[in-house]
Chains A and B, each alone.
Chain A
Amino acid sequence: MRIMTSIVAGAAVLMALTSAHAAETADTFKAAYEKAEAANKKAGELRNQWTTTAAALKAAKKAADEGNFDVATSQAKHAEALANASIAQTEREDKLWQNAVIR
């Protein structure tokens, strides 16, 4: 729950920041998108991708196709944050799962 709140808060801040700065371009979007894809790929190797990461990547692509690079870039950064959270979850849970085993 705390993690979800911090992600939502982080994304909100990110979105506010991007609209306050100079407009994003196709290049800055591409960079952000590739970073997000790479993180999601790593999450895939760990076999714990989130559906919301895929949705954010899809939304980023769609916004970029429509030429809306501000939204596209913020969505891509949101996707990267989600992907990183899913990686962190796997790294945590690889150790923590044992605490839940019925003894």
Chain B
Amino acid sequence: MMRGFALLVALGMLAGSQLARAETAATSPEQDFKAFRKYFTDKFPKVQLDDFANGPYSMNEGLRKQWIEKEVFPPYDFALDKGKELFEKPFKNGKTFADCFENKGIGVRQNYPYFDEKTNEVITLEVAVNQCLEKNGEKPYNYMKDDMAAVTAYMAFTSRGKPFDIKIPKDNPKALEAYQKGKQYFYQRRGQFNFSCASCHVQAPGEHIRAEILAPALGIMNALPIYRSEWGGMGTTSRRLTSCNSQVRGVPLKPQDPEYRDVEYYLSYMANGIPISGPGARP
């Protein structure tokens, strides 16, 4: 009797460890990409692939109508004008942002974030903007809104329609590690509410959370930076990620913390091929 029971327990443990082993085998970015894409296109067969970049508007007809109307004079218009002004204004040393970026910084949003193989870090557009400022003896911008949101809004605008083209350098274990860390961040529950990013954006896109309609995770980076009516102003990726954290009662990390950059890297890669739609307007 005891021996039988012991055998049963042993078998159970073996099965358990087999399961654990299968789960821990990391999938490749290419495998993840295929599965991620299939999940959302299967779930929403009527949504055009490019439309995923419009977040909640791809999920709800009534919301979309209001958005289309507002796009005649979108709320990000003023930030866009300010962004163009800041982008073209020379620094004290005479140089401009154009000197820091490929193609003079026009139509390049879709290449960010990229993995800098010299410094082994993920470089987002905002980090690149501040690196440019510091390189030219200027004060870096606050990552969350105002000037940073204005400049990145302009850079996104000049890149509208260009599909995300995020690269994970092959045979670079550090780049792959950043990608995998980003993936973990996305799926890991946090905060007192025990939500992960996936809880809302994979489990319930198109559903309501209080009065908001949730955006699908596919293409969720494409419209940033955004003018959010809730904020009454512009916000960058950092603003959105930190507020997502506090909304689930988790203390946010610092803007552009490596973990935030990693999750942006992961989500942008998942959206490869889907066009930049930013700057965006959201409720």
* Chain A residues close to B by CB (< 8 Å): 3-4, 44, 47-52, 54, 82, 85-86, 89-90, 93-94, 96-103
Contacts and interface: CB of A to CB of B under 8 A. Distances in A.
3 A-B pairs closest in CB distance: A97-B188, A49-B251, A97-B187
B190 to A, nearest CB: 5
B189 A82 contact: no
A100 B196 contact: yes
Interface string B224-241: 000000000000000000
A3 B191 CA distance: 12
Contacts of B202: 100, 102
B251 A51 contact: yes
Interface in B189-214: 189-192, 194, 196, 198, 202
A89 B35 contact: no
Interface of B: 23-24, 27, 32, 35-36, 39, 183-184, 187-192, 194, 196, 198, 202, 246, 249-251, 253, 259
Contacts of B250: 48-51
A70 to B, nearest CB: 25
A41 to B, nearest CB: 12
B259 to A, nearest CB: 7
A58 to B, nearest CB: 13
Nearest to B22: A98
Contacts of B249: 50-52
Contact of B196 (A50, A90, A97): A97
Given A49-B250, A50-B250, A103-B27, 8 more contacts: A48-B191, A48-B250, A89-B189, A90-B190, A96-B189, A98-B187, A101-B32, A102-B36
Contact of A102 (B23, B35, B196, B251): B35
A95 B268 CA distance: 24
A100 to B, nearest CB: 4
Contacts of A89: 189-190, 194
A90 B192 CA distance: 11
Contact of B246 (A51, A86, A102): A51
A44 B250 CA distance: 11
A50 B191 contact: yes
A82 B192 CA distance: 8
A101 B27 CA distance: 10
Given A50-B192, A51-B246, A100 B27 contact: no
Contacts of B259: 47
B39 A102 contact: yes
Given A89-B189, A102-B202, A54 B194 contact: no
Contacts of A97: 184, 187-189, 196
18 contacts: A48-B250, A50-B191, A50-B192, A50-B249, A51-B192, A51-B246, A51-B250, A54-B251, A85-B192, A89-B190, A93-B189, A93-B196, A97-B184, A97-B187, A97-B188, A97-B189, A99-B23, A101-B27
B190 A98 contact: no
B26 to A, nearest CB: 9
B192 A98 contact: no
Contacts of A99: 23
Contacts of B251: 44, 49-51, 54
Contacts of A54: 251
